[in-house]
Amino acid sequence: MSATRKKARKLRLVENLQREDLNAYEETIGILELLAEELDIDQETVVKLLYDMNNESKGNSNHNVMVSEEGRIIQDVFSKLGKITWQSFVANRLPLLKLHLDIQTALQKGEIEYTKAKEINRIKNDDERQKVLNKAIAEGLSLSEIRILVVNILQQQSENKPSSHNQEQKEKADKIYKALRKSKIWNDEKKLKKINKLFAQIEALLEEENKDDPSLQQGSLVSENSL
């Protein structure tokens, strides 16, 4: 790209960032595009440099990006724009790039505000998140209303986890049982003694749980060495 075209592109990017109707997502992408143009690198590398600068400013890195040519250019761009500091950009704007794609799309279209988008993004389930996003856009829900919806969904998902976890444990027990049946471990006396100790512990747990219901009493696990 010629110097003239490069300068013209920078000018367009800067003018775009001066728009009054620019939302947070558009501004974030616009600033990254400008930095990439100034540094002549891709946006992914720009993001990495910014995170390196942030870590260095907190004493968590020895990259020395702050005093490098790239660091100077980045600080100069933010200073000239006068819209946001690079530190605030890293803390509050770069996280936008980690939002779910449906949330990013809504932000890009200006359909929802940044604070509301971050709240809805807490929902990991794609279908549930999309429902809340659509409802928030269609009904113009306030941030407090969105928070109530999100909290209810997250609480419901949390309550459903134990049953899912229990099912996983049951499947794990079945796999162990089948593996034991096929194993040659029964021919090893030392290992067999360890298994019998584990059986005794399991049997004790079962007896403790089922002591009030004789119909659920199990036969001795320890005596059934061959399963």
User: Around Cβ 54, how many Cβ atoms within 10 Å?
Assistant: 19
pLDDT at 201 over 70: yes
Q: What CA–CA distances, in Å, run from 82 to 79, 184, 220, 221?
A: 5, 72, 76, 74
Give me the pLDDT at residue 208, please. 78
Q: Which of 86-90, 147-151, 210-214 has the lowest mean pLDDT?
A: 210-214
Q: What pTM value is reported for the model?
A: 0.61
Over residues 102-116, the mean pLDDT reads 92
Phi, psi (deg, nearest 5) at residue 19:
-60, 135
